[in-house]
Chains A and B, each alone.
Chain A
Amino acid sequence: MSIITTQNLTKIFGSGTTAVTALDHVNLSVNTGEFVAIMGPSGCGKSTLLHLIGGLDRPSNGKVIIEGTSIAEMDDDRLTELRRRRIGFVFQFFNLIPVLNAVENAALPVTLDGVKPAEAQKKAAEWLTRFGLSDRLASRPDQLSGGQQQRVAIARALAAEPSLILADEPTGNLDTRSGDEIASLMRDVAKKYGRTVIMVTHDPRVAAYADRIIFLKDGKVIDETILERKNTSNADVVSRKIKEIGD
């Protein structure tokens, strides 16, 4: 079953002679529990696609349908609701609050949403435990490695129990080994915990963990690769593809 469908999704920035078509009639469908990577050269429209799916921006044309409802038909309140409860965001840096420990950081958005702190922290602790941080619950960000901090940030994104995770270069600021760990964790989020994950990345090694890679260029989907299963040779296949597509 598809959780997200886009129909002729088009985004044009500016107008007249200075208009830039960031996305050009993109049709795609992502299934529940699928892990999809979006790749492509700079300016190919991958970030714009992520924004439109996340309800952060409105399309110039076409539709984004999430769980059967078109985003265009949602008013600001519904859109806010969608962003807060049904979508979790993961960025490249972690932006944890230095004075709060891991549990408090991961629980913060849920706490701010009106859930009692004890209950929010229980939820956050569950996710942190699943991510192998059960002994680091009380650690502050400065006592955690980069990879551990990113795991806290992913737990934070999941604490509100969203069905969709949008990750924007989640390994951009990590060394190769931690990057692999995070990519593998993103896969678990989809496969073990049933969330749908859409990830923008420029790193073929990281994309190789996905079920499917969508290649964008000049605002269009130019290729799609379904990866049979996660293995190291995928990275080479993906690298070759990226080279073919070129900048």
Chain B
Amino acid sequence: MSVRYAVLGLISQKPRHGYETRMAFENLVGGDETWEVKPAQIYTTLDRLEEAGLVERSSDLGEGEEPSRRVYKITPLGEEALQEWFSGGVVPGHQRDEFFIKLIIGLVSGRANPERLIQTQRSLLFQEMHAATTQRDEYDPHTEMAQILLLDKSIMHLEADLRWLDMIEMRLETIKGQPLPEPQIRRRGRPRKGDKGSTYPPPDPLSDCETG
């Protein structure tokens, strides 16, 4: 959801049109390689924000030959939503890890060599780390500290992931000896006649009345 709030926040800074909002977002995250947002996504987001009454649209006639553009500005309701966003923390998403899934599937299915998977992943992480380091060195600390900090974050995480790979590697034998628990399969569909939960035969509607 953070693109939504980023857009709202950028509009709170000053009224902006769609294209400008998208460019401002790109500058914020350090280029579309880091976090690509398609124009359509920005316009959809703006439409939704407008529907929810968080921003309002006005027309800008454009200067000279320029066509008119829709300019968005934040509403009091939007300000409230923004404050609510600021009031909470952000839960980082480290649990959904595709490499982890790949490794475990490779291991339990016997179709991949886990040592090789780790090695391939390690090599990729190193390359990513160096790409980030190179990119960070190209930023000017006097004017672009925000972008540098974002890259620092990514380098720190990549280094942590590398350490994590070391840990997995050291414990690989242990994981190999621990088969994944198989899910308990329950019968699907309607319970059989007479089984617990079965509605057949239907309860006798008169049985309640017998005592009465």
Smallest Cβ distance from A53 to chain B, in angstroms? 12
Residues of B within 8 A of A56 (CB): 119, 122-123, 126
A16-58: CB near B (< 8 Å → 1, else 0) gives 0000000000000000000000000011000100010000110
Q: Judge if A224 is at the interface, Cβ distance under 8 Å.
A: no
Question: How far does the alpha carbon of A20 sit from the alpha carbon of B171 in the complex, in Å?
Answer: 36
A93-120: CB near B (< 8 Å → 1, else 0) gives 1010000000000000100111000000
Q: Judge if A181 is at the interface, Cβ distance under 8 Å.
A: no
Q: Judge if A185 is at the interface, Cβ distance under 8 Å.
A: no
Stretch at the interface among B102-110, B151-159, B178-186, B188-196: B151-159
B133 touches A76 (CB 8 A): no
Smallest Cβ distance from A77 to chain B, in angstroms? 7
Q: Which of B119, B134, B138, B166 contacts A76 (CB 8 A)?
A: B119
Q: Which of B133, B160, B166, B170 contacts A172 (CB 8 A)?
A: B133
Q: Judge if B50 is at the interface, Cβ distance under 8 Å.
A: no
Q: Judge if B1 is at the interface, Cβ distance under 8 Å.
A: no
Residues of A within 8 A of B155 (CB): 92-93
User: Does more than half of chain B's interface fall in helix, strand or loop, or is it mixed?
Assistant: helix
User: Does more than half of chain A's interface fall in helix, strand or loop, or is it mixed?
Assistant: loop
A-B contact count (CB 8 A): 53
B115 touches A112 (CB 8 A): no
- For B, the interface residue count at a CB cutoff of 8 angstroms equals 24
Q: Which of A38-96 contact B (CB under 8 A)?
A: 42-43, 47, 51, 56-57, 76-77, 79-80, 84, 89, 91-93, 95
Residues of B within 8 A of A109 (CB): 166, 170
Q: Which one of A95, A114, A169, A172 has the greatest number of beta carbons of chain B within 10 Å?
A: A95
Q: Judge if B51 is at the interface, Cβ distance under 8 Å.
A: no
Residues of A within 8 A of B130 (CB): 47
Residues of A within 8 A of B134 (CB): 42-43
Q: Judge if A173 is at the interface, Cβ distance under 8 Å.
A: yes
A84 touches B116 (CB 8 A): no
Residues of B within 8 A of A91 (CB): 159, 162
Residues of A within 8 A of B116 (CB): 76
30 A-B pairs whose Cβ atoms sit less than 8 Å apart in the complex: A42-B138, A47-B133, A56-B119, A56-B122, A56-B123, A56-B126, A57-B126, A76-B113, A76-B115, A76-B116, A76-B119, A77-B115, A79-B119, A80-B115, A80-B169, A84-B170, A91-B162, A92-B159, A93-B152, A93-B159, A95-B156, A95-B159, A95-B160, A109-B166, A112-B167, A112-B170, A112-B171, A114-B170, A172-B133, A202-B137
